Amino acid sequence: MFTVVRNILAVLLAFLCMPVLVILGVVALPFWLVSFMTQAMTSVAQRKSSAWNAIIQFDSSIGWKMKPHLDTYYLALGDDVCHVMTDSQGWVGTPSLSESNLVVFGDSYAFAYGVDVSEAYFNLNPQLRIKAICAPGYDMVQELLLMKKYSPELANKLVVWFVCLENDLHDNLKPNSQHPQHVYRTPFVRSLNGDMNWEIVTSHVSNQRWPYPTLKTLYAETFAKLCTPSPFSQHTYSACEYLLKEGRDVCGKVGAQLAIVAIPNKLQLSERGVKSITSKLSNGYGFDPHYPDQQFSEMCHRLTIPFFSAKSYLQLNDYKQYDWHWAKQGHRQISRMLGDLYAAYASNTLLVNHIPEHPSK
């Protein structure tokens, strides 16, 4: 008898609790679905993502380039899975080079590393047909060689050269890339009889790994030195001026207009970041976080090349939190900057050392 009563009570209790369980299930279902879909989408994206070495290939003149006809994903810093597409020659940007009216040369910033291709600066302004000749890890030497290669197709275009102040300047002097994702040797520039004479060296470029041990470059320390007048920084800027002059002459021969855009180190954009740069120096005498921009401004003035500092458009929150590259809003700012540059070019008001200020600043 006791067992029968206990079973009846259990059934009644279960019946009474059923509405509560249903309500709890209805409330929890959306959260479960969101969690499930997020995990499923992340898993699918990561399964589709390609290893970096699988989407680049050896190039006998510049070391490496992106593979052609890419339509894939790669895993960026901060575990962001990003969509990338390239054309038949391995470059990003929707229009062909012949269809473009603005051509950007550069490294990972020009490539739009860390965001989907649909969010990249070169796809945000329908009024501009932008082609980006670039790849992550490129330095100014590689970019100049590409400028020479494609010079016939640059005729009567605005050519914008993105110079990354963080690492391009020192990488110009190195014969190999130390990044584990980049296994190829790289062209470099070396001085002949002092800093006034330079030459580009490519004879060592092959698909074989660099056989000599090389100390890993600490870019934070190197950039701090480039913010200070010294024999080291003078030597480095002299190499840059040689490359800028070569780029000016390449563009001038085909009637293209070259403009230089200095891409700031993220740390330059905040007081805390500037203190971090200063801390890398044993002696901070002469340190100036604006020194690299000033040096490029003076070099471009001597060479009659329009110079622009992207610091005029960028703020700290335009960069990704756990990466040195631009976030989505940073690409929107760069898109506006290029729109202003092209408007000045089209109206014949693109002046040497004219540095436009963003309207919000």
Q: What is the pLDDT of residue 356?
A: 44
Say which residue, 3 or 65, is predicted with more confidence: 65
Which pair of structure tokens corresponds to residue 298? 């003076």
Looking at the DSSP assignment, which residues form a beta bridge with residue 116?
none
What is the distance between the terminal CA atoms of the chain, rounded to a whole angstrom? 85
Q: What is the pLDDT of residue 3?
A: 56
Q: What is the pLDDT of residue 285?
A: 80
What mean pLDDT is reported for the chain?
86
Domain residues of the chain, as ranges?
Answer: 1-50, 51-346
How many Cα neighbours within 13 Å face the side chain of 252?
Answer: 9
Give 274's pLDDT tier (boundaries 50, 70, 90): very high
Summarize pLDDT for 28-85 with one digit per residue, the tens.
Answer: 555 545 454 545 444 444 447 888 888 999 999 999 999 999 999 999 887 789 999 9
Q: What is the pLDDT of residue 299?
A: 97
Please list, residue by residue across 231-247, b when 16 or more beta carbons sit within 10 angstroms of its beta carbon and e when fewer do.
eebeebbbbbbbbbebb
Residue 289 · residue 262 · CB < 8 Å:
no
Q: Which residues in 26-151 belong to E strands, given as ranges?
A: 49-50, 56-59, 63-66, 71-75, 81-85, 102-106, 130-134
CATH number of the domain located at residue range(s) 51-346 in this protein: 3.40.50.1110
